[in-house]
Amino acid sequence: MPPVANKDNSPNLILAGFMGTGKSALGRQLAKRWRRRFYDTDELVEKLAGASIADIFAEHGEEHFRALERQVVAGLLPEYGGVIACGGGLVVPAGMGELVRSKGIVVTLFASVDTILRRTAGNSRRPLLKGDDPEAKIRELMKKREQAYMKAGIAVYTDGRSLQQLCVIVERVYEREARALLKSRPKSE
Ligand code: S3P
């Protein structure tokens, strides 16, 4: 358990990245390890809207969904101490990367198209991958989003790594970043 993560005022850990890169699985595992609360922005959006992601997309469209995500990040996340998994497109719209970074330490998970394809098959929470050729959609979206993902946080590649190994890697990144952040805060805080 990382020492800095024990402090009540330790920064949030925020996991960003494409659908199927393992944000929720890793986030839940780290939250358990650190005895912190886990938040999933997809769940918070569904609660806020009182509707499923599939229904939000079908009835109101993607733009409305993005507005809800912004509301969640701006107003419904804890200030400190949480482990948060973001929906895959959350950091993509203009200004969202900055907003998310203002809420904690951001790690972006990456995975190969094959891994993403395998992990995302048949999930109704991912309407953007619906259709005959999900692989083409993944490639197209990934290309559009890659820059935003790189800018949003510290990149961690997940292929060929177990959940256990990823926990250790992300924990190390978090510790390093949290220490730097605590050092840079004025003493009176
Ligand atoms: C989306 C990813 C999904 C969900 C929604 C849109 C995206 O979250 O927020 O279907 O635009 O990449 P996961 O990354 O948790 O699947």
- The first and second tokens of residue 15, run together, are 């996991």
For ligand 1, atom 15, which residue shows the shortest CA distance?
Answer: 87
The pLDDT > 90 percentage for the chain reads: 85
- The first and second tokens of residue 93, run together, are 């719209």
Confidence of residue 186 (pLDDT cuts 50, 70, 90): low
Identify whether 59 is part of a domain. Answer: yes
Q: In this structure, what CATH number is given to the domain that contains residue 173?
A: 3.40.50.300
For ligand 1, atom 12, which residue shows the shortest CA distance?
Answer: 88
Identify whether 100 is part of a domain. Answer: yes
pLDDT reported for residue 124: 73
Please work out whether the CB of residue 182 comes within 6 Å of at least one atom of ligand 1.
no
pLDDT reported for residue 183: 83
Identify whether 128 is part of a domain. Answer: yes
If one counts every other C-beta atom within 10 angstroms of the C-beta of residue 70, the result is 15
Identify whether 41 is part of a domain. Answer: yes
Identify whether 140 is part of a domain. Answer: yes
Dihedral sign of CA atoms 94, 98, 104, 106 in order? positive
Query: 27-57: per-residue pLDDT in tens?
Result: 999 999 999 999 999 999 999 999 999 999 9
pLDDT reported for residue 174: 97
- Which residue out of 45, 96, 128, 142 has the highest number of ligand 1 atoms within 8 Å of its CB and is therefore the one to mutate? 128
Query: 82-122: per-residue pLDDT in tens?
Result: 999 999 999 999 999 999 999 999 999 999 999 999 999 87
Identify whether 189 is part of a domain. Answer: no
Tell me what the pLDDT averaged over the chain comes to: 93
Range of the domain at 75: 12-180
pTM for this entry: 0.94
Number of domains in the chain: 1
Confidence of residue 189 (pLDDT cuts 50, 70, 90): very low
Identify whether 114 is part of a domain. Answer: yes
Q: Which pairs count as long-range contacts for 154-158, CB under 8 Å and 24+ apart, including other chains?
A: 154/105, 154/106, 154/107, 154/108, 155/107, 155/108, 155/110, 156/107, 156/108, 156/109, 156/110, 157/110, 157/111, 158/21, 158/22, 158/109, 158/110, 158/111, 158/115
Q: How far is the CA of 160 from the centre of ligand 1 (A)?
A: 22
Identify whether 33 is part of a domain. Answer: yes
